[in-house]
A and B are shown apart, each in its own frame.
Chain A
Amino acid sequence: MAEEIKQVQKQNYKSNVKPIWCAGCGDFGVNAAINKALSDLGLQKSNVMIVSGIGCSSAMPHTFSTYGVHSLHGRLIPVATGVKFANSDLTVIGTGGDGDAYGIGLGHMLHAARRNINITYIVMNNEIYGLTTGQASPTSMQGAKTKSTPHGNLEVPENPIALAISAGATYVARAFSGDPMHMAELVKNGIRHNGFSLIDVFSPCVTFNDLNTYDWFRGRVYKLEQSGHDPKNKIAALEKSLEADTSGWEKVPIGLFYEENRPTYEDLDPVLKLGPLINQPSPSKEQLDKIMEEYL
C-alpha cells in the first residue's frame, strides 16, 4: 500500500498536519489520489476549497494546504454549494464518509445532483461509522455485525450510485482505495467535469469493519473501463449500478458509471452565469433608487 501511495504523489498539496487515521485506513489512499489529481491538473492551491462533514474521513481537508471548511456532520454539500455560489472560480471538492453522505446528509446529496452544481463529491464509503467507533451505516451489508447491530444488520444497503444517477448527477463513479492510481484518474476527471460529480470510494475501515476488507473488495471489484460499458448510456449505467446488489455482492463494478453534459446550475442562473458573485458589483445608487420608487 505505502509504495503505491508514494508512487502517485507528485506536486505536493499536502499540509504539515499529520492525518489522524489508523494505520492502514483506506482514507490514506484517497488522500494520495486527491493529491495526485490536484497536481496533475496543476490547480493553484489558493483556488481550491475542500469542504468536509464530520467523521474520520472528514479530517481530509486538514491534510491539504488549500482553503477548506471542516463543517458539520451531513452538511458539507450545502456549505460547498454556498462556496460555489459565492465564487464559481474556486474548485470545490467535498470529502466525507458514507454516514455523512448517505445517512444524515442524503437529502442534500440528491438535491445537489438535481441542481447539477459544479462540485466534486468524494465519499469514503467504509460501510461503517468510523469516528463514532463502529455502528452500522446506511451502506452496511445486511447481516453485518456492528456495535449497533450485534445480532446482524436488518436493513439492506443503500445504493448511492443508482440514487445519484437517477437524481440527476452528471458524473457518477466508484473507486477502490486499494487502487489509488485508478481513483486519481476518476477524481481528476470528476474535477474536470462541469457539473455535479459523485465518486463513491470503497475505503476500508481496518479498525471497525472486519467484513468489507481490502481483500474482500479485491476479490469482487472489476473495472467498467475494461468491460465495454458506455458511460454515456443512462440505462446501461443504471443497470450497472444494480449489479452489486443483484449479484449478491459477488460482482462489483468500479470506474465511471455515468457521464452527461448538462448545463450546471451556475450556467443557468441569470446572475451566476455572469461570473463569480464575489466579483460582481453590488447594486448602484441608481438601481436602488429605482427599487425604492416601486413603493411610491
Chain B
Amino acid sequence: MLAKISARSGLHVFGYRGYQSIIRGGHVWYQIDISEEKLLSHQEGIDILVALNQDAINNQKSHLRENAVVVYDPTKTNTEILQGRNLRFVKLPMLDIAMKESGNPIMRNVAAIGAVLGLVGIDISIFESAITRMFTKKGEKVVSENIKVGSEGYKNSEVKQMFVIKGDKIHRHVIEGNAALALGAYASGCKLYSAYPMTPASTILHWFAEHEGNGVTYKQVEDEIAAINVTIGAASAGIRAMCGTSGGGFSLMVEGLGLAGMIEAPIVVVLSQRTGPSTGLPTKTEQGDVLFAMHASQGEFPRIVVAPRNIEECFKLSSDAFNLADRYQCPVIILMDLYMSEHSETTDAFNFDSIKIDRGKIAWQANPAERFKRYLYTDDGVSPRSIPGTPGLEFIAGSDEHDEYGDLVSDAFSGIDEYVETRRKMMRKRMNKIETMLKNEDVFHPAITNESAKNFLVTFGSTTGAALEAAQILNSQGMDFGVISFNYLMPLDADKTKKLLEGKSLIDVEVNFTAQLAQIIKSNTGIDIQNRILKYDGEAITAEQIAKEAQKIIQNK
C-alpha cells in the first residue's frame, strides 16, 4: 500500500520482502526503497523503521542508518536497546488508533503507513485517493475506516517531513516480478498455466487464479511431473501453455523437458531459483540453477534459457518466450529467482500494443496424395506442425527417436543401417535450430553500458540492477566502471559475446558459489574471468556490497 501510494505521488519504488518464514510466527519484514529516481535494486540500511513488534527492533537494529527514524508503538515495544545511538523516535500508539477508529487490530499497519507518509512529506490527499481506488470494491466502510486510521497516523507522526522527497506527479505502476511475468504470458496468448505450489513460483499460480477468465485458465495439479506434462499435452494440442516451479519441482520436470525437446513441443517453463540444493533456504534467493537449467535432461536438444534483468524484462521476456517457443518448437526456460520474482518495482504501464504474436510454422493444408511429415527434414531445423483437429494432417508424436512421419526407429529397428541414418539426420535437423536461432534473433549476447570504461562488472539476470548501481557508486568515487549483463544465457552467440568481453578488465558478479556465468563465458569464448564477487548466503547482493568488493579487487591489482 505504501509502495502504491508513493508510486502514485510520482516517486520510484523498489520493494523486497525479507522474510524468514512464510507461515505465521517467523520474523517478517518488508523493505521499501523510495526515491525521486528509478531504483534498480534494494538498498542497504534503513532510514525509517516501522516496528510492529519487538522482533523488528531487535533484528533490524544493526541495519539502521545514522539519524534514522524509528516508528514504534509504546504499548507493544520498547526501544531501550537503541538508546545512546544517533536516532530519532516517533512514538505512535498504532494499536490504540486502530482499535479506536476501526476496532480491527490489523489496521495498525495503516496507521503506520499514515505516519510514514507524514515523515516523507507525501500529501495526505494522495493517500485518500489511493485508498479510495484500492478499496472501493470492498465497500465504503472499508474505505472510510482506512482513511480514518491512516489520517490519525499521519497526524500523530509528531515530526513532519523528516525526509523530504518530491515526486514528479506521474502516476506510476508498482508490480511484482512474478505478476509482470504472468501478465506477459497472459497478454501473449498463454491460455493455460499449470503448476504445483512452490515458493517463489507460487505467486504466479495465485496470479492466474485471480485472473482466470478472458479465455485463460490454470490448473494446480498433483505434482511438477504432471505440471510439465500437462503443459506439453496442451502445447501439442495447439495452445500456448506454461508451467512454473522452483528448483525442487524443476528437478521433477526434467524428463518432461526432454520430451518437449524430442517431440518439438513449444512450451514455456518458469524456474524461480531459491537458495541451495534440496529444500535449501526456501524463502531466500540465489542464482545457483543456471547450469542445471541449461543441461537438465538426458540427451541433447535445442532449448532457450532467458533471465529477466528487471521488471520490464519480466514482462517482455515472458512475452517473447512464447514467440521463440513457437518459432523454434522447443522448450524455453525463464530463469527467475526469489529476488526477481518477489521484488516490486515502479514501471510505466506495459505496452500491450507492442506484442506481436508469431505462432511459427504451422501446416493447415493436407496433401491427399501424401501422408503428413510432421518432422520433415528442413535446413533451418523447423518443420511445420499441424494442430490436432485439422483433417488430413494426423501424426503421432514419438518420444522415441522417429522418422519424418513421427514413426519410431527405436526398439525393432535401431541399429539397421537405414535407421542409423534416420537418427543422424533427425538429430541434425533438430540441432540445426540452434544455428537458425543465432542467425535470426539478435538477442543471444550481453548488453554493455559505458562502453569505453576501464573496468566492467559482468553479471546476469536479477543481479544486473545492483551491478548497474554499483558502477554508479564506483564512478562517483572516481573509478571508471561499466556493466556487461546477460539476459539470454542459452544459446549464446559466442562470437558477439567474445568481441564484447575480449581485452577488457572484467569482474564477474553472481549470487552463487561456483561462478556459473563465468563458466558459461569460459566455455563459449575461452575468456576466463578470474576476478569474482560471489554471494551465497541467501540474501540478494546489494550495490554497496558489489562496489566495496570491486574497489578491493581494483586496489589489489
- Residues of A whose CB lies within 8 Å of any CB of B are 15, 17, 20, 44-47, 49-51, 54, 59, 61-62, 64-72, 75, 77-87, 89-90, 107-108, 111, 131, 269-272, 277-278, 280-285, 287-289, 291-292, 295-296
Partner among B179, B393, B408 whose Cβ is within 8 Å of the Cβ of A295: B179
* C-alpha gap A20/B413 in the complex (Å): 10
Whether a CB of chain A sits under 8 angstroms from the CB of B418 is: no
Whether a CB of chain A sits under 8 angstroms from the CB of B399 is: yes
23 residue pairs from A and B, CB less than 8 Å apart: A46-B388, A47-B389, A59-B411, A61-B396, A68-B397, A70-B398, A71-B229, A71-B259, A72-B259, A75-B256, A78-B225, A78-B226, A79-B232, A83-B237, A83-B388, A86-B191, A89-B389, A111-B222, A271-B215, A278-B389, A288-B187, A288-B352, A295-B174
Chain B residues near A84 (CB-CB < 8 A) = 233
* C-alpha gap A82/B233 in the complex (Å): 4
Whether a CB of chain A sits under 8 angstroms from the CB of B241 is: yes
* C-alpha gap A135/B397 in the complex (Å): 27
CB distance from A101 to the nearest CB of B (A): 14
Smallest CB gap from A62: residue in B: B396
Smallest CB gap from B346: residue in A: A295
Partner among A66, A80, A83, A292 whose Cβ is within 8 Å of the Cβ of B394: A66
Partner among B213, B221, B399, B407 whose Cβ is within 8 Å of the Cβ of A271: B213
* C-alpha gap A263/B231 in the complex (Å): 23
Smallest CB gap from B223: residue in A: A107
Partner among A90, A107, A291 whose Cβ is within 8 Å of the Cβ of B183: A291
CB pair B192 A85 closer than 8 Å = yes
CB distance from A27 to the nearest CB of B (A): 14
CB distance from B451 to the nearest CB of A (A): 34
Whether a CB of chain A sits under 8 angstroms from the CB of B480 is: no
* C-alpha gap A49/B408 in the complex (Å): 18
Whether a CB of chain A sits under 8 angstroms from the CB of B186 is: yes
* C-alpha gap A167/B187 in the complex (Å): 37
Interface residues of B in 88-135 (CB under 8 A from A): 133
CB pair A51 B237 closer than 8 Å = no
Smallest CB gap from A88: residue in B: B237
In the A-B complex, the 10 residue pairs with the smallest Cβ-Cβ separation, listed nearest first, are: A82-B233, A78-B229, A280-B215, A86-B237, A82-B234, A271-B217, A79-B233, A82-B230, A283-B214, A68-B396
* Given A62-B408, A68-B396, A71-B399, A86 and B241 contact (CB-CB distance below 8 Å): yes
Smallest CB gap from A53: residue in B: B399
CB distance from A290 to the nearest CB of B (A): 10
Q: For this complex, into which size category does the number of interface residues on chain B fall?
A: 35 or more
* Given A17-B407, A289-B352, A83 and B236 contact (CB-CB distance below 8 Å): yes
* Given A72-B255, A111-B221, A277 and B399 contact (CB-CB distance below 8 Å): no
* C-alpha gap A66/B389 in the complex (Å): 10
CB pair A108 B173 closer than 8 Å = no
Smallest CB gap from A76: residue in B: B229
CB distance from B243 to the nearest CB of A (A): 10
| B contact patch SS | mixed
CB distance from A84 to the nearest CB of B (A): 8
Chain B residues near A44 (CB-CB < 8 A) = 391
CB pair A79 B394 closer than 8 Å = no
Chain B residues near A278 (CB-CB < 8 A) = 191, 237-239, 387, 389
Whether a CB of chain A sits under 8 angstroms from the CB of B363 is: no
Partner among A69, A75, A280, A282 whose Cβ is within 8 Å of the Cβ of B225: A75
CB distance from B339 to the nearest CB of A (A): 19
Smallest CB gap from B240: residue in A: A282
* C-alpha gap A79/B175 in the complex (Å): 33
Whether a CB of chain A sits under 8 angstroms from the CB of B523 is: no
CB pair B226 A111 closer than 8 Å = yes
Interface residues of B in 304-328 (CB under 8 A from A): none
Chain B residues near A20 (CB-CB < 8 A) = 411-412
Whether a CB of chain A sits under 8 angstroms from the CB of B349 is: yes
Chain B residues near A67 (CB-CB < 8 A) = 388-389, 394-396
Interface residues of B in 181-215 (CB under 8 A from A): 183, 186-187, 189, 191-192, 194, 211-215
CB pair A69 B263 closer than 8 Å = yes
CB pair B191 A69 closer than 8 Å = no
* C-alpha gap A126/B171 in the complex (Å): 67
CB distance from B135 to the nearest CB of A (A): 13
CB pair A46 B389 closer than 8 Å = yes
Smallest CB gap from B255: residue in A: A72
Which interface residue of A46, A90, A108 has the most chain B CB atoms within 10 A?
A: A46
* C-alpha gap A36/B493 in the complex (Å): 54
Partner among A66, A86, A282, A296 whose Cβ is within 8 Å of the Cβ of B238: A86
* C-alpha gap A61/B395 in the complex (Å): 9
* Given A70-B400, A287-B214, A296-B4, A82 and B352 contact (CB-CB distance below 8 Å): no
* C-alpha gap A222/B171 in the complex (Å): 75
* C-alpha gap A78/B227 in the complex (Å): 8
Chain B residues near A280 (CB-CB < 8 A) = 191, 215
